[in-house]
Amino acid sequence: MNINGLIVSGTITRSPVAEGAELVAYSGFNTTAKYLSQQYNADLDFGAGDFSVMVWLDQMEAWRSVVSRGLPDAVSFIIEGNGTQNTVRINIGGSVFTKSLPWFNGVWKHLAFVRHSGVVSLYLDGVETDSWAAPGTVSVADAPLFIGKNTIFGSGSYPGKMALLRISASAPTPDQVAKIYEDERKLFQPGAQCTLYGTSDEITALAHDPKTNLLHVGTGDGRSVFDGLLRVANTETPVTTAISAAGGMIAEQ
């Protein structure tokens, strides 16, 4: 949201995406009292240009809104789903597209749409499922953003959990969307760790091992080892100035 914070209305539930996992999901949305919102933000006025929306969801019921932006007489963009009919509906600047998708309630799914050069591609779990032309503008003056509810058409609030929602003024390629899914899905496993070890957020040293493809991050609490987004190991000896990593051998001080 480009450092423009969200307004929290009511009490939104925060819980791990899986037992022992560090990644947090948000749930408990209610159309009248519990939702996230942002007042008009010109950074979300993408015009007729490229943009994308991605989110992880775990369930859907009859026509419920995930994210919506616009006014009653002017839609910017909306994502809605219907778990009863196994469909998702995307509205971009008033251009509506409905697609049958298999909603597996209680199972995390990665949903994304990407608009590039006026063509929108819809992805489920990193795989493109369909595309359609939607070249119209999504710029709507004074349009607020709502997460977990839809105040434009009055569809119900989102009933499940959501995580890693992002809206971007960029259009990742199919390969990039697939990689995003593959990298992020590991964070939804029981016990998955994704933050620096300890309480310090001051990074003192970094090193990437080209042989193992692991990233080593040093702080005053130790060295955290990342495989992609997943922290796979850590030490508890403070790192003060430098790390060197090559072929699985580590030197630090």
Domain containing residue 156: CATH number = 2.60.120.200
Please tell me the predicted confidence (pLDDT) of residue 188.
97
Question: If you average pLDDT over every residue of the chain, what do you get?
Answer: 92
In the chain, pLDDT over 90 holds for what percent of residues? 77
| DSSP 8-state assignment for residue 6 | P
Please tell me the predicted confidence (pLDDT) of residue 22.
98
Name the amino acid, one letter, at 105.
N
Residue 66 falls within a domain, yes or no? Answer: yes
* 234, pLDDT greater than 90: yes
Q: How many residues does the chain have?
A: 253
Residues 237 and 178 occupy one common structural domain: no
| pLDDT (tens digit per residue) in 134-157 | 999 999 999 999 999 887 766 678
**Average pLDDT score over residue span 181-193:** 97
The helix (H) or strand (E) run that includes residue 185 is helix 174-185
Please say which residue of 188, 214, 244 terminates a domain. Answer: 188
Confidence label for 27 from pLDDT (cuts 50, 70 and 90): very high
Q: φ and ψ at 189, to 5 degrees?
A: -90, 150
pTM of the model: 0.92
Which residues form the domain of 82?
7-188
Q: Count the domains in the chain.
A: 2
| pLDDT (tens digit per residue) in 160-182 | 899 999 999 999 999 999 999 99
* 1, pLDDT greater than 50: no
| pLDDT (tens digit per residue) in 203-227 | 999 999 999 999 999 999 999 999 9
Residues 179 and 215 occupy one common structural domain: no
The residue with greater pLDDT, 60 or 187, is: 187
Residues 210 and 182 occupy one common structural domain: no
Residues 6+ apart with CB under 8 A from 249: none
Name the amino acid, one letter, at 124.
L
Please tell me the predicted confidence (pLDDT) of residue 2.
55
| pLDDT (tens digit per residue) in 96-114 | 999 988 776 789 999 999 9
**Average pLDDT score over residue span 21-48:** 93
Please tell me the predicted confidence (pLDDT) of residue 154.
61
Residue 39 falls within a domain, yes or no? Answer: yes
